Amino acid sequence: MSATISKDELNKSLSRRSMSRSRRMSFGSTSVRSWASASVTEVLTAPGGDVFQRNGRENDDEDELKWAAIERLPTYDRLRKGILKQTLDDGKIVHQEVDVTNLGLQDKKQLMESILRIVEEDNERFLLRLRDRTDRVGIDIPKIEVRYEHLSIEGDTYDGSRALPTLWNATINFVEGALEKIKLVPSKKRAVKILRDVSGIIKPSRMILLLGPPGGGKTTLLKSLAGVPDKDLRVAGKISYCGHELSYFIPQRTCAYISQHDLHHGEMTVRETLDFAGRSLGVGTRYDLLTELSRREKELGIKPDPEIDAFMKAIAVAGQESSLVTDYVLKLLGLDICADIMVGDQMRRGISGGQKKRLTTGEMLVGPAKVFFMDEISTGLDSSTTFQIVKYMRQMVHIMDVTMIISLLQPAPETFELFDDIILLSEGRIVYQGPRENVLEFFESVGFKCPERKGIADFLQEVTSLKDQEQYWFRENQPYRFITVAEFAERFSNFRVGRELLDELEVAYDKSKAHPAALVTEKYGISNMELFKACLSREWLLIKRNSFLYMFKTFQITVMSIITFTVFFRTEMKVGQIADGGKFYGALFFSLINVMFNGAAELAMIIFRLPVFFKQRDSLFYPAWAFALPIWLLRIPLSFMESLIWVVLTYYTIGFAPAASRFFRQFLVFFALHQMALSLFRFIAAIGRTLVVASTIGTFSLLIVFVLGGFIVAKDDLEPWIKWGYYASPMSYAQNAIAINEFLDTRWSTHNNDTSFSEETVGKVLLKSRSMYSDDYMFWICIIALFAFSFLFNLCFILALTYLNPFADSTSVSMDDDKSKKNEQRNRSPKESTEKSSASTTATFEGIDMAVRNNSSIDKRASKKRGMVLPFQPLSLAFNHVNYYVDMPEEMKSQGIEETRLQLLRDVSGTFRPGVLTALVGVSGAGKTTLMDVLAGRKTGGYTDGSIIISGYLKNQSTFARISGYCEQNDIHSPHVTVYESLIYSAWLRLSPDVKKETRKNFVEEVMELVELNPLQNCLVGLPGVDGLSTEQRKRLTIAVELVANPSIIFMDEPTSGLDARAAAIVMRTVRNTVDTGRTVVCTIHQPSIDIFEAFDELLLMKRGGQVIYAGPLGHHSRLLIEYFQVCIISAKIFNLFQEFQQ
């Protein structure tokens, strides 16, 4: 009986410990002290522990001695020493003392493997071990509570056609802007309200999801809370961290805003990108925390976990080129498989779009921030990856008391369940903010209910929409009435959760509760010298990665030198007479032009680097000077080499003054000139900020510099009012220096016999004839002037980088001119015209409704088959046993893989039929895009076998390209044309020449109606993330550009990627309309909601390795698919399996 009771008591004890641990995993707010938290001495001296004492002392004596030796070290040295488990060659495991600041690759790998062998299982356990170490000595982790009260944001923009960047508009806007500043005319801009008197609290240890339809103000809210709002917006209200306003501390260092735009250097690898971010951002309070932690543990006689101790010490050392926190983030975000692969850009193949999105997140996670504002971090990721990342973020928030808001576009139900609180933002107003469990209760109190087979996140984003709201009304005894966002916001203030929020806001935050280390008051994370070293090492890395460009520039100037000296080769250059000077003047001027223009490539290189620079500068990675100085210094050897090549190959072959001193003096002039040219082009790039503007400024500047340089027009021939330009032109000093160097040589000292010149020698006569200086000391003054210009332009370059911002101010708002309205009415039936509401295009300013209102229901789509002006032949596509191989990458060969080919598609078979919408689904890396590229004939490399048949005939790529269209995932369009112009141009190029102009125009208008672009036809396309169309509207334009080619088969690569549920539904309606014309349409898709997934007719499901695991119809409510998997896995009825198919 006693044994039974003892066993029951043991079970209860274990149950209580398990419950305590479970609560800690969920909330991270209580401190758990278990036997593992006790000191080693306490465990070894416990009663009944004699056997374990003997065995433990026999095995651990050496480890205890090593740890005791570390404990006796001074604090500085003690925080750099740790004990790591290492495996010897004979398989024996030993514990070695290591310097954590110099861990080798193998040591880092072993440590990370011991901490996070399987990330899904070990991450939470690892974070708990970290937290337990601080809790058991009573150290508080800094927490930050963010409040925003009565926050309102608005901006100004032009209406209608005035938004288009035409020459007339630019002129009128400039004149009006000048008159407005002196108060002569009122502003013609329209005020756009983005956020309207919003208030709320962001608490630590709570996972918060930010939801809302397009244009609701989500990005503006996140950027405002992060202290980085757009410069041209007017902000009113109060934002505070732990009761302190933003002016009290440095918000960019305290928090981290993670943008939805992925801006990285394509030449760097993923690991290098994260290493640089971690090195620049510093370690924050990690070192101070570790110092206090070590002191208290030493006082209490506690021996820490060796692995946790080594990890904390390794990530607390600032200025490391490669930190262990990089390895942790790589493993956490699943980037370890591509850690040593280049990020890539438009011209370089690199990592995938989803991996770039995770890299953008990781770039901020490696820093010491305690508050994170994450803006649409799931774009391009499949559902399972998004779920895993959000789960890891939840663990971090709950255990480490982090403050975090995540904005997601299409969160799956299981991802939605991971969040604690919801913020629903629509039309600049907060509709709901509070616990996730109460959000449906609030909307039911208003009269709206989420259907059973509807994702809650999708419901929340649609319930405030005029078009979608009515379907959720569930009070049958009351007539439906549209509830505006303002009414929702008012009812929320009277709802129980809303009242509690307002009551809490009325009580001021107790600043005494704030941790002294919570808010950061230092502008940068490391010292100025360390910042310079970090930027210098990165710049050297980028130079090595762009070595081809510098080699080509060297080759270019070498070839030009050879061509130049061959003109003069074996040709006698007579000297000593005035008539002989013209040839030398021409040769000198030609040399100046070549050397100066060889630095023109610097302009384009700086322009391409600026987007990343502006992002990192605004996030306080480094100041502008730390970016500019390494560029300046590392270009000096290049200037030296290129100038030397030119002088060595041309000086004596042309026939300049033979004295060695003259040779080196000319080299000095060209070196100073090349440095000045590089500085000038850098300065112009920083002023222009875009390639078009900078090139225009650069061309005009060079024209002025050359004309006023003293050779084309002599100084004495200039009018008095323009002579200042001669002294301001760097070229004049270079021209004077090389002319003085040549014509003051002894061979030009022949006595002047021309009485029209008063100078004694021929050389001085030649100098005076072109208004050049004739004194030898002026050579050194000109050299000093060239270096002074170089210094001045570099200084201006730094100032421009410091104070100028990227061109993000141009906007394109609603195009509601008469032509747009007439076309819209003409293309609609009377009933449709009354039902469809107008749409507005996106602007840089959020707060404008960007959804295209269209009451044509998807349920009615099948009944309406649209006729087209241009006929097409419906075609089917069948593929049988398709395999695709590429050459084995060198990285994999170096790991011992002997195969010569890597197979990406394995025996793939299927069919796509006219009028049937097929979804191509699979996890990242399953081969979806690869299969589409192979079928479309877009793969230019690799090896393909198998058969591809078009309506019974073997595919012929030359003719297939004329009857197929391909919508890429990246929406690439010309930013400076309107929607209608984009489509007309595409139709003009791609339709048959025998199609009449009027027919082509009518066909384009029909396509615009089909994809619902009529209200936007006169809107400027603009740049993604800057101005013009929204992401959803760009997707529809991409589809329309392919449709105007009148294809029979259309491939679409992730048409809903980067969209929220509402925008994705609009795009899918467009896709459905396209299918209803009888075309064959295939779409890859990553994160479908139930509504979007069930809009498809058939499914082709792929798994990793490029294999098909399902091909066939879905059935009503995906019944056929569910039945298939029920049979395969022999399980009970699967509820809402649509999202889990990707795992």
Q: Among candidates 582, 559, 509, which has minimal Cα distance to 742?
A: 582
DSSP run (H or E) holding 429: strand 429-435
Q: Are residues 500 and 553 in the same domain?
A: no
Query: What average pLDDT does range 534-539 have in this prediction?
Result: 95
pLDDT at 1140: 55
Q: Are residues 1019 and 1102 in the same domain?
A: yes
Average pLDDT of the residues of the chain: 81
| Residue 718 burial (10 A CB sphere; 0-12, 13-18, 19+) | middle
Last residue of a domain, one of 758, 785, 803: 803
- In this prediction, residue 15 has a pLDDT band, given cuts at 50, 70 and 90, of very low
* Of the ranges 635-644, 694-703, 800-809, the best mean pLDDT one: 635-644
User: What would you measure as the largest C-alpha separation in the chain, in angstroms?
Assistant: 134
The residue with tokens 């036809």 is 1017
Token pair recorded at residue 1053: 């690569």
What residues are paired with 807 via a beta bridge?
none
Residue 612 to residue 99: CA distance in whole angstroms: 34
pLDDT at 599: 84
Last residue of a domain, one of 465, 496, 513: 513
Query: What average pLDDT does range 316-342 have in this prediction?
Result: 88
Q: Decide if pLDDT at 55 tops 80.
A: no
pLDDT at 649: 93
Q: Among candidates 1029, 1008, 1010, which has minimal Cα distance to 1072?
A: 1010
Q: Are residues 590 and 480 in the same domain?
A: no
pLDDT at 1011: 78
pLDDT at 61: 67
Residue 1142 within a domain: no
* Number of domains present in the structure of the chain: 3
Do 698 and 688 touch, CB atoms closer than 8 A?
yes
- DSSP H helices in 925-978: 928-936, 957-960
Residue 794 within a domain: yes
pLDDT at 1027: 65
| Residue 425 burial (10 A CB sphere; 0-12, 13-18, 19+) | buried
Q: What would the pLDDT profile of 693-718 be if each residue is shown by its tens digit? A: 899 898 898 888 888 888 888 888 88
Strand pairing category for 93-99 and 81-87: antiparallel
Last residue of a domain, one of 768, 803, 838: 803
Q: What would the pLDDT profile of 79-134 be if each residue is shown by its tens digit? A: 878 777 766 666 666 677 777 778 777 778 888 888 888 888 888 999 999 999 99
Domain holding 922, by residue range, is 830-1110
pLDDT at 111: 83
Residue 136 within a domain: no
Token pair recorded at residue 49: 């522990």
Residue 819 to residue 1068: CA distance in whole angstroms: 27
Q: Decide if pLDDT at 672 tops 90.
A: yes
Q: Among candidates 297, 307, 375, which has minimal Cα distance to 111?
A: 307
Q: Decide if pLDDT at 21 tops 50.
A: no
- In this prediction, residue 808 has a pLDDT band, given cuts at 50, 70 and 90, of low
pLDDT at 405: 95
Residue 965 to residue 741: CA distance in whole angstroms: 65
DSSP run (H or E) holding 1002: helix 997-1010
| Residue 1124 burial (10 A CB sphere; 0-12, 13-18, 19+) | middle
Q: Could you give the 3-state DSSP secondary structure of residue 642?
A: helix
DSSP run (H or E) holding 1050: strand 1049-1053
Q: Are residues 636 and 501 in the same domain?
A: no
Q: Are residues 979 and 876 in the same domain?
A: yes
What share of the chain has pLDDT > 90, as a percent? 32
| CATH number of residue 905's parent domain | 3.40.50.300
Read off the amino acid at residue 815: M
Q: Return all residues near 468 (Cβ < 8 A) that are at least 6 apart.
A: 462, 1062
Lowest mean pLDDT among 72-76, 471-475, 1046-1050: 72-76
Residue 440 within a domain: yes
Do 745 and 763 touch, CB atoms closer than 8 A?
yes
Residue 987 to residue 990: CA distance in whole angstroms: 5
The gap from C-alpha 952 to its chain's centroid, in whole angstroms, comes to 45
Residue 87 within a domain: no
Do 315 and 556 touch, CB atoms closer than 8 A?
no
Query: What average pLDDT does range 1103-1114 have in this prediction?
Result: 86
Residue 271 to residue 338: CA distance in whole angstroms: 9
Of 236 and 835, the one with more pLDDT? 236
Residue 664 within a domain: yes
Lowest mean pLDDT among 52-66, 232-246, 488-502, 592-606: 52-66
Residue 1106 to residue 1109: CA distance in whole angstroms: 10
- In this prediction, residue 1016 has a pLDDT band, given cuts at 50, 70 and 90, of confident
Q: Are residues 342 and 241 in the same domain?
A: yes
Q: Are residues 1040 and 998 in the same domain?
A: yes
Q: Return all residues near 882 (Cβ < 8 A) that are at least 6 apart.
A: 905, 907, 908, 909, 931, 934, 935, 944, 945, 946, 947, 948
What's the sign of the alpha-carbon dihedral 678, 681, 685, 687? positive
Q: What would the pLDDT profile of 714-759 be if each residue is shown by its tens digit? A: 888 888 888 888 899 999 999 999 999 988 988 888 887 777 777 7
| Residue 789 burial (10 A CB sphere; 0-12, 13-18, 19+) | buried
Q: In what order do the strands lie in the sheet with 429-435?
A: 255-258, 371-375, 403-407, 207-211, 421-426, 429-435
Of 829 and 396, the one with more pLDDT? 396
Residue 1030 to residue 770: CA distance in whole angstroms: 59
* Of the ranges 358-372, 982-996, 1049-1063, the best mean pLDDT one: 358-372
Residue 847 within a domain: yes
Do 860 and 207 touch, CB atoms closer than 8 A?
no
Q: Decide if pLDDT at 904 tops 50.
A: yes
Q: Decide if pLDDT at 645 tops 70.
A: yes
Q: Are residues 716 and 790 in the same domain?
A: yes
Q: Are residues 570 and 616 in the same domain?
A: yes
Q: pTM for this one?
A: 0.77
Q: Could you give the 3-state DSSP secondary structure of residue 1011?
A: coil
Q: Decide if pLDDT at 165 tops 70.
A: no
Residue 65 within a domain: no
Q: Among candidates 781, 846, 827, 812, which has minimal Cα distance to 1004?
A: 827
Strand pairing category for 234-241 and 146-157: antiparallel
- In this prediction, residue 803 has a pLDDT band, given cuts at 50, 70 and 90, of very high
- DSSP H helices in 301-341: 306-314, 324-332
The gap from C-alpha 825 to its chain's centroid, in whole angstroms, comes to 40
Q: What would the pLDDT profile of 880-895 be if each residue is shown by its tens digit? A: 999 998 888 776 677 7
What residues are paired with 256 via a beta bridge?
372
Count the Cβ atoms, other than its own, within 10 Å of residue 749.
Answer: 15
Q: Among candidates 723, 754, 713, 475, which has minimal Cα distance to 589?
A: 713
Query: Between the CA of residue 849 and those of 331, 464, 838, 1026, what are the distances in Å?
Result: 40, 12, 10, 17
What residues are paired with 426 via a beta bridge?
429
Q: Among candidates 354, 412, 419, 375, which has minimal Cα distance to 1092?
A: 412
pLDDT at 93: 67
* Of the ranges 91-95, 170-174, 280-284, the best mean pLDDT one: 280-284
Q: Could you give the 3-state DSSP secondary structure of residue 314?
A: helix
Q: Could you give the 3-state DSSP secondary structure of residue 157?
A: strand
Lowest mean pLDDT among 310-319, 796-805, 858-867, 1095-1104: 858-867
What's the sign of the alpha-carbon dihedral 1023, 1027, 1028, 1032? positive
Q: Are residues 751 and 872 in the same domain?
A: no
Q: Are residues 762 and 879 in the same domain?
A: no
Q: Are residues 965 and 1099 in the same domain?
A: yes
pLDDT at 391: 93
